[in-house]
Amino acid sequence: MTQSSPSRPLSRTLRYLAPNAVTSLSMICSVMAVQASLRGQIVEGCWWIAYSTLTDKLDGYVARKLNASSPLGVQMDSLADLLNYGFCPAAIVYGFFHSHPELGWSTGLSGIALSLICAAYTLCAALRLARFNVSVGSPDFFFGIPTTFSGGFHAMAIVTLCKYGNPAWTMGQTYPGWRLLGDMRLDAIMPYYPLVLLLFGYLMVSSWRMPKFGKLKVRVLNRMTMAMLAVGYGLAMLQLAPEFLIFGGVLYLPVIALAHFFWTPKERPEPFFPA
C-alpha cells in the first residue's frame, strides 16, 4: 500500500496563494484593457495597463515578504507581463489606428505594415521575457528595456497624444486632472506612433544595458528617478497627468544610454539560441 502524503497546512497554502492572487489581478487588468479597447474606449484601456504596473511590482513584494516565491509564481508573472506589456499595447495601437483611417495606417500596404509592427512588438516582448527567465542576470542592470517600462510608456503615450490631439479620436472620453501642456496640440505626432512601437520592440531585445531603478552610479540621479517613479505611480492610480509620466520616461532614455556606454560593465546577454 502506498502511504498518502501529509496534508499541506492551510496557512502555507494561503502564503503561496497571496502573491499569485496579485499576479492574477494583473492578468485581469489585461482583460479589462482589451475589453475597453474593443468598445472603442482607448483611454480606459490604456489606464488599465497603467494599473497593472502597480500589481506587477506588488506581487514580487508580497512574495518576498511572505517568503512565498515559487516556480509557478515566476511563470504566472511572466505570462502576466506578456499579456499586459506585450499583447495589450500592440492590440490597442492596432485597434486605434485601424479605426482611424485619417492617420494613414488602416488600408493597403500601410495596413499590412501596421499588422506586422504590432505582431513584431509582441514577439519582441515574448523574447525579452523568455531571455530574462533563463538568464542569470545582473543585480544592477537589465539587458534591453523591461517589458513593464515599455508597456507602461506606450499606454501613457497614447493617452497623452489623445489628450492633446483631435477630440474626435476619443469622443465621449474624459481626461481628469491637469493639462500640464496647456493648449498644445500633438496631432502631428500621432501618425508616426507605430514607428515608436517598433523602436521599443527593438529596445526590448537589444543588448543595451539598462540600470535598474535605484542602481545608478550617480546618487542624485538615483534619488530623482525614484522620486519621479513614486509620483508617477500616484498620478497613474488617480488617472492624472499622463504627460508627466511620459516626460519621466523620455528623460530616462538618455540615462539608459549613459549607463550602457559609461556606467555598466561591457557585458553582453546570453544568445537567444545555442551556438
pLDDT digits (tens, 9 = 90+) for 191-213: 999 999 999 999 999 999 988 87
More confident residue, 258 or 194: 194
Cα 14 to Cα 9: distance, rounded to the nearest angstrom: 9
- Domain locations along the chain: 16-263
Cα 192 to Cα 93: distance, rounded to the nearest angstrom: 12
Residue range 16-263 in CATH 1.20.120: yes
Q: Treating both helix axes as pointing N-terminal to C-terminal, what angle do 42-66 and 10-38 enclose, rounded to 10 degrees? A: 170
The SS3 assignment for 204 reads helix
Burial of 214 (0-12, 13-18, 19+ CB in 10 A): exposed
pLDDT of residue 177: 78
- Mean pLDDT across the chain: 88
- For the ranges 12-16, 25-29, 62-66, 256-260, the maximum mean pLDDT occurs at 25-29
Q: Sign of torsion, CA 23 85 250 203?
A: positive
pTM: 0.90
pLDDT of residue 224: 86
Polymer length of the chain:
275
1 — pLDDT class (breaks 50, 70, 90) = very low
Summarize the confidence of residues 85-97 as an average pLDDT. 96
Q: Cell digits for 125?
A: 516582448
Cα 165 to Cα 179: distance, rounded to the nearest angstrom: 12
Q: What whole-number percentage of the chain has pLDDT above 90?
A: 52
For β-strands 141-143 and 209-211, DSSP reports them as antiparallel
Spell out the residues 6+ positions from residue 68 whose beta carbon is closer than 8 angstroms to its own.
15, 16, 18, 19, 62
pLDDT of residue 5: 52
| Nearest residue to 248 (alpha-carbon basis) of 229, 222, 223 | 229
pLDDT of residue 63: 78
Q: What whole-number percentage of the chain has pLDDT above 70?
A: 94
> Does residue 13 carry a pLDDT above 70?
no
pLDDT of residue 146: 92
Asked if residues 177 and 240 have their Cβ atoms less than 8 Å apart, the reply is yes
Spell out the residues 6+ positions from residue 141 whose beta carbon is closer than 8 angstroms to its own.
209, 210, 211, 212, 215, 259, 264
- For the ranges 67-81, 100-114, 172-186, 216-230, the maximum mean pLDDT occurs at 100-114
The SS3 assignment for 123 reads helix
140 — pLDDT class (breaks 50, 70, 90) = confident
Summarize the confidence of residues 96-120 as an average pLDDT. 96
Cα 249 to Cα 47: distance, rounded to the nearest angstrom: 16
Condensed to tens digits (0 to 9), the pLDDT of residues 154-191 reads 999 999 999 999 999 998 888 887 899 999 999 999 99
> Does residue 107 carry a pLDDT above 90?
yes
275 — pLDDT class (breaks 50, 70, 90) = low
Cα 232 to Cα 241: distance, rounded to the nearest angstrom: 9
Cα 121–chain centre separation: 12
Condensed to tens digits (0 to 9), the pLDDT of residues 40-52 reads 899 999 999 999 9
Cα 16 to Cα 12: distance, rounded to the nearest angstrom: 6
> Does residue 129 carry a pLDDT above 70?
yes
> Does residue 127 carry a pLDDT above 80?
yes
Cα 85 to Cα 149: distance, rounded to the nearest angstrom: 8
More confident residue, 104 or 10: 104
More confident residue, 72 or 88: 88
For 268, list phi and psi in degrees, rounded to 5. Answer: -125, 150
pLDDT of residue 153: 94
